[in-house]
Structure 1
Amino acid sequence: MNLLGIQALLTLICYFFFIFISFWAIQGIHLERILHVSDPNQFKTLIVLLSIGLGYMGGSFFLELINNIRNLSYLLK
């Protein structure tokens, strides 16, 4: 396996992990009390889309943080 394949696999795992965490966290908020839900299917779709968005942002932040920490070694050389 080359380095790009390993990095792609770790990126996918990181994104799915953060999407799962955000989905779990959003379900604990009980948004149906705040929003007036007319169609339950639309509400479930909203929760999934919010989870994907938050998970992607959290995963991107985490991956960029790791990448920047790794690049700090070039500053010291």
Structure 2
Amino acid sequence: MNQDLSNSISAVGVNGLLSIVISLICIALAWWALQQVKLDLVVRHPKGPQGKLLHLLLAVVLGRFVAEFLIDYITWSQMIRYMF
């Protein structure tokens, strides 16, 4: 019984760590991709602190959406084994 509980806790820990890593990678990729967006068309001073903060927030939001999709996809693909 303790072995089953230990395996469950270990699996939850691995899933949590995987989610963190995927989220950080997706945020970094979103930051990199947003470097090509011309914020000077929307923001008055894109090189100022507010422009940089907006850039960071956009990267976090976009990266989180992509990470959420990837994490859901991984979870769904793991659930397929219970179908048969």
Task: Answer yes or no: same fold by TM over 0.5.
Answer: yes
TM-score w.r.t. the length of structure 2 is 0.80
1:17 aligns with 2:40: no
Larger RCO of the pair (alpha carbons < 8 Å, separation 6+): 1
Matched, 1:37 2:44: yes
Identify the residue that residue 13 of structure 2 maps to in structure 1: 5
Off by >2 Å, runs of 4+ in structure 1: none
- In our comparison, the structure showing a higher alpha carbon Rg is 2
1:36 offset after TM fit, Å? 3.7
Aligned position for 2:55: 47
Superposition deviation, residue 29 in structure 1:
1.6
**How many residues are treated as equivalent by the alignment?**
75
Mark the runs of 5 or more structure 2 residues left unpaired by the alignment. Answer: 1-8
- Please give the secondary structure, in 2, of the residue aligned with 1:28: coil
What RMSD over aligned residues (CA atoms) do the two structures have, in Å? 1.6
Structure 1 length-normalised TM? 0.87
2: CA distance between counterparts of 1:36 and 1:51?
A: 16
In the TM superposition, what is the alpha-carbon distance from 1:74 to its structure 2 partner? 1.4
